[in-house]
Amino acid sequence: MSLRTMELIFTVFITILYVLTPGASGATNLFNVMDYGAVGDGKTDDSAAFSKAWKATCNSPSRNPILVIPASKIFLLKPVTFSGPCKSTSIHVLMSGNIVAPDSKSAWKGYHLDMWLAFTNVNGLTIIGSGTINGRGAIWWSECSSYRVPQGGTCKGPTALTFYRCNGLVLKGTKHINSQRNHIAIFNCKDVTFSNLHISAPKTSPNTDGVDIASSSNVRILNSFIGTGDDCIAISSGSSHINITGIACGPGHGISVGSLGAHGGNDTVEEVHVRNCTFNETMTGVRIKTWQGGVGYARKILFEKIKFIRADNPIIIDQYYCPGGHCKNEVGQLKSKSLTSICIFMVADNWFLNLLMVDIGH
C-alpha cells in the first residue's frame, strides 16, 4: 500500500471522527495550523502558529482531536516542544505538509541545543502522513566533519525529532532528511510503533543516526528505509523488547546495540529481535558495542534472516569500544565466565540465524 493511499485512508478516518465524535459541547476535532496564523511559505517563522494549534489540540475536550499540517505547504519552525499531558488519550497529527529547520544556528539562541522538534508527555499520539521533516543539517555537519569524538561524547547539534515519555506512540509514512544530528530519538517511551518511514542523509554526514532508542520498551520499527552517515538504528541502555523487522539499511553503520558502559556506567539491553533486514553498502551490519570499565549486560538478542550486500563488516561484537582510539585498559567489577580476558560486560544468549552475505568486504 502506497503512502498516498494510507494518507487517503487516514483522511477518510479523521473525517469520520470529525462527523461522529464532535466532543463536548460540539467542540471541533480538527485544528489546522493555517487557522492559527501559519503561512507555509518556507520563509516565515511558523513556530508560534504551530504552538497555538498544538495547545488547542492538546486542550481540546474532544475524544479524538486532530492537528492538521496541510499539503502543498512548507513550514519553517524554530525549536518547538509540543508538551502534554493532553485531555484526550488519542491525539492525531495528519502531516501532509513539509517542515524545515532554520538555515542558521542562531535560531537556537535561548533554546536547548539538544532538540529541534519534540513531543513530551503525550500518550496515545499518532502521527501519519507523507510530509517531510528537513533538518537542513549541513550547517551543523561542517563543524563535525573533522571532529574527533571524545570518550562517550558526540558532535554538537539538535536531534531533529524527539519523543520523551510518549506511551502508545505511532509514527507512520513520514519522511525525514538531513537531520542536524540524529533524526529521531525515542526516550523513556512504551508501546511504540514506527512503520513505512523514509530516513536519509549523506553517508558522510556525522552522527546522523536514523532512530535512537533509549530507556524504552515494547518498540517496533517496521518496513522502513534508513540510509544515513551513522547507525540506521541504535539501541541504548534501559531498552527491552525491541522488534526491528523489514528494514532496508544503507548507507550507514548498520543496527547497533550500544554503545554501553561509557564512563563506567551500568547499562543493560535485552530482548531485541532484528529480522528480515537488508544491509546494503554499510560500514558495519549488526553490532554490539561496550566500553571498557562499565558494567551490565546485552542479552537475548536475535538477528535472523539478515542479508548483507557489500557490507564492510557484517557482524561485530566489540567489547573494547573506543571510537577515538585513545582509551586505556580498564577492569570492571562484573565478569562473565563465558568471556575471556578483562571483558566485564555479559554478552550472552545472543543468536545469528539465516544470514546471507554478498560481495562482503569489497
Residues in the chain, total: 362
Q: Is 198 one of the catalytic residues?
A: no
The answer to whether residues 182 and 212 touch, using CB atoms and an 8 Å cutoff, is: yes
DSSP one-letter string for 245-258: EEEEE-SSS-EEEE
Residue 9, classified by CB atoms within 10 Å of its CB into exposed (0-12), middle (13-18) or buried (19+), is exposed
Q: 102 preceded by cis ω (within 30°)? A: no
- Residue 34: partners with Cβ closer than 8 Å, 6 or more residues away: 40, 49, 70, 73
C-alpha cell at 78: 524554530
Q: How many helices (H) and strands (E) does the chain have?
A: 3, 27
Q: Give the span between the Cα atoms of 168 and 233, in whole angstroms.
A: 20
Q: Give the span between the Cα atoms of 146 and 130, in whole angstroms.
A: 35
Beta partners for residue 318, in sequence order: 289
In the DSSP assignment, the letter for residue 35 is: G
Of residues 176, 253, 273, 326, which has the active-site annotation? Answer: 253
Contacts 24+ apart (CB under 8 A), 32-37: 32/68, 32/70, 33/67, 33/68, 33/69, 33/70, 33/75, 34/70, 34/73
Residues assigned a catalytic role: 253
